[in-house]
Amino acid sequence: MQLTLHGNVKLHTQVRSTPMRRLLPDPSPTTVEAQLERYRPQEHARANRPFVAMNFAATVDGRAAIGGVSGPIGSAADTAMLVGLRTRFDAVMIGAGTMRAEHYGDIGTRLVVVQSGQRGKVDLPALLRSLHGEGVKALLCEGGPTLHGALQAAGLVDDLFLTIAPKLVGGIAPRILEGDLPGIAALELAWLLEDGGELFARYTRR
């Protein structure tokens, strides 16, 4: 297992306050900023690991990439949600494949890149315990799908943020989760937002 840690820097993108619609709960106008204002994942850190949330965007036909990358899926509102979410967490974690494909640069917070070592799979519980010991109380994971599958299989995911773009892609492309799970993971819909036909869901693990 190898970790690449990038230091903290200031965010260069402001969280967008463009109006959206909250469909669930309590239907009403809202904004990304207002929706995330009361979201405090650090307050729900586990005893020996950070609170872990996943963030993905997918097309209506379930594809998590277009042309090998996720960028073309979402809109400006999706980018605003991504930037806003990053401000609520102590660190962002991605797999090495996602790092190479998406060309991450300065994202404004600590970036943890997970790479399998010569012995194969990463010991994710041990990694999260280590990050917790370093003061990371809330961790946002942005993929890829294989890392997502491994975290879900180990029961290490608390929230899933999913943007559903009003697009159809077809062809062969990854889903938001790849790999086997020990059973069906039941989710509960915590909120659902809409902007221009694009849906923004937050699910919690039951």
pLDDT one-digit tens code per residue, 129-149: 999 999 999 999 999 999 999
Q: Is the pLDDT of residue 32 over 50?
A: yes
Q: Is the pLDDT of residue 21 over 90?
A: yes
Tokens 């463009």 found at:
18
Q: What are the domain boundaries of the chain? A: 2-8+18-205
Say how many C-beta atoms besides its own lie within 10 A of residue 118's C-beta. 6
What number is the average pLDDT over the span 122-127?
A: 95
What number is the average pLDDT over the span 160-177?
A: 96
pLDDT of residue 26: 96
pLDDT tens by residue, 56-109: 999 999 999 998 889 899 999 999 999 999 999 999 999 999 999 998 988 999
What number is the average pLDDT over the span 42-62?
A: 97
Note the CATH architecture for domain 2-8+18-205.
Answer: 3-Layer(aba) Sandwich (3.40)
Using an 8 Å Cβ cutoff, are 29 and 22 in contact? yes
Distance between CA 132 and CA 128 in Å, rounded?
Answer: 6
What number is the average pLDDT over the span 169-181?
A: 94
Q: Is the pLDDT of residue 164 over 80?
A: yes
Rounded to the nearest angstrom, the gap between the alpha carbon of residue 46 and the centroid of all alpha carbons in its chain is 18
pLDDT of residue 121: 81
pLDDT tens by residue, 178-190: 999 999 999 999 9
187 residue type, one letter = L
pLDDT of residue 7: 40
Structure tokens at 99: 């790092």
pLDDT of residue 4: 46
What is the DSSP code string of 71-124? Answer: TTTS-HHHHHHHHHHHTTSSEEEEEHHHHHHHT----SSEEEEEE-BTTBS--H
User: Which of 1-10, 37-46, 58-67, 91-100 shows the lowest mean pLDDT across its residues?
Assistant: 1-10
